[in-house]
Amino acid sequence: MNRLAGKVAMITGAGRGIGAAIALAFAREGAAVALAELDIETAQATAERIAKEANSTRVVAIGTDVTQSASVKEAVAQTESAFGPLDVLVNNAGINVFCDPLTMTDEDWRRCFAVDLDGVWNGCRAALPGMVERGAGSIVNIASTHSFKIIPGCFPYPVAKHGVIGLTRALGIEYAPNNVRVNAIAPGYIETQLTLDWWNGQPDPQVARQATLDLQPMKRVGQPQEVALTAVFLASDEAPFINASCITIDGGRSALYHD
């Protein structure tokens, strides 16, 4: 339970879902954890729960808008002020923007990229200078199976997520000589609140849920903590030679040729 002992980590979008699961897993493994979240009330409640469940006093919530580079830079500064130099950054914050390409507004396009790609870059740009100077660091970007698979009706979300993989690979190679690793995780169907909201928004939620389960080789969807365990591995000293890579967590769905 000490795989991240002594490390300082910041996770964006950590108020709920995958981000909250990663923050909890990091705290349980001994890391000091900052939850950088737009909804500060949600982040504070989650931070209190994590502190209790992980029996840790080194958990803090920081109001952060990942679309604003100054906000992310300030979040890194606050994290380091509270706990010391940042060892790990997890760029998890993201939103779903699914539109028809020819009727999508400019605002929809910018909203998607502002969070899902610019937000990742803003995190990297804020964390990298310190990591490069110290000659150590791990950045984990939460991508998606949309990063390499296309589902009709989901534009422009996969375009942004393809960009996250490109950013991960480019920065991983750029800063490899400085012992800074940049990797990505590509989750498939994970039972987050967003997934539950989508099922519940369908005419028959149970039918919609079952249709999703039927698509999965393992006949279930993933859980946020299953993504969190991989994030722990990439952030830890157990993955020193994994860089500019992407680990897919989808139960084998993306390897399936057809149903």
Please enumerate in sequence order all residues whose Cβ is within 8 A of that of 26, keeping only pairs 6 or more positions apart, or say none.
4, 7, 9, 11, 33, 88, 228, 231, 232, 235
Residue with tokens 């680990």: 247
Verify whether residue 175 is a known catalytic residue.
no
Alpha helices (H) in the chain, listed in sequence order: 17-28, 40-53, 69-83, 106-116, 118-134, 157-174, 193-200, 205-215, 224-235
Q: How far apart are CA 62 and CA 145, in angstroms?
A: 29
Rounded to whole angstroms, the Cα distance separating 251 from 211 reads: 16
Active-site residue (options: 157, 175, 189, 257): 157
Left (φ > 0), alpha (ψ -120 to 50) or beta: where does 96 sit? beta
Catalytic amino acids? 157
